[in-house]
Chains A and B, each alone.
Chain A
């Protein structure tokens, strides 16, 4: 069946939604903090969660290739279809680029990323403060763009549900998919 998402795809969508919102909030919050043990802990947790999200995105993309998502509703005009595909491509691109930029920024600033304090990720760039500052602004701006795209994503889902009254929102929800049958 291609008219609905697989259970795995739904779990991935909502698990990552939670993780990403948490990461965004934590990321914007922690950078304002004065140096403290808590700040160092929060940075580490942010980095560990970021690596986790990156791996989840890779798995999710592989899953998506093997299990293509259901098609968009027939009523959608060509421009809106293009916009929907572009939006999703942007979401996936950012979900890959943001953790990568964070990883590179950490290396350039001289703080190696060690996943859960156990598994060290290689430093792909050497310590370089200028590059670190540049990558920091890249990381921040990609996240601001990400917030904008997420707002668009949520807005589009709500428009589909309340204005177009199609199943684009409900088909990703865990409970409605079994009940709803058109």
Chain B
């Protein structure tokens, strides 16, 4: 390789590394994130929230398949939409939170589909039962701030959520829709969001 072409390659590499710098998004911003769910009760859509959860997440958009995701949801802080419902779901027929306080999702693979879309496949464990689930996810980023968003449907019967008199689906439907939006800062992100660099305009 001639010296001039070597210089050219090098300069392209430098320019490239400036534009597409490898960043790892890993610092979850709980206050700008939410995991919610909806379910059907006698044909009425009810909204609920997972009030407390932690996520151990490492995601590099340049190496999505190397991503690591583990989400632990503290089920004692579930809000089903009513105080009566919250007391009920803690019981043995539903989530049995004294025995199984945590729901855990561990990603096994992250597959890029292009256009900021990914398929996250992993195992979801609730109430001692583990199921493989596929979660369509989008990842959008602006500088050091990334946002994962998506939703998927789980079948409560797969996890024995709602046993005995609740096992039939005529009153509470089997499908539970889970929505999530997780804001993640990259390693290079400043500690406060007040000094975000403006997106650079390229000629």
Contact surface of A with B, Cβ cutoff 8 Å: 35-37, 40-41, 43-44, 109-114, 117-118, 120
B172 near A111 (CB under 8 angstroms)?
A: no
Q: How many residues of B contact A (CB 8 A)?
A: 19
B168 near A112 (CB under 8 angstroms)?
A: no
Binary contact readout B74-97 vs A (1 if CB under 8 angstroms, 0 otherwise): 000000011011011000000000
What's the least CB distance linking B180 to chain A, in Å?
21
Residue in B closest to A118 when the chains form the complex, CB atoms: B43
In the complex, the number of residue pairs spanning A and B with C-beta atoms less than 8 Å apart equals 42
By secondary structure, the B interface counts as: mixed
Contact of A111 among B44, B88, B171 (CB under 8 A): B44
A37 near B46 (CB under 8 angstroms)?
A: no
A37 near B88 (CB under 8 angstroms)?
A: no
Contact of A110 among B81, B166, B170 (CB under 8 A): B81
With A40-B41, A114-B44 already in contact, the answer to whether A35 and B88 are too (CB < 8 A) is yes
What's the least CB distance linking A104 to chain B, in Å?
16
Binary contact readout B15-56 vs A (1 if CB under 8 angstroms, 0 otherwise): 000000000000000000000000001111111000000000
**A37 / chain B contacts, CB cutoff of 8 Å:** 165-166, 168, 170-172
What's the least CB distance linking B18 to chain A, in Å?
48
- Choose among B41, B42, B166, B170 the residue with the greatest number of A CB atoms under 10 Å from its CB: B42
**A117 / chain B contacts, CB cutoff of 8 Å:** 42-44
What's the least CB distance linking B157 to chain A, in Å?
15
B44 near A41 (CB under 8 angstroms)?
A: no
**A35 / chain B contacts, CB cutoff of 8 Å:** 84-85, 87-88
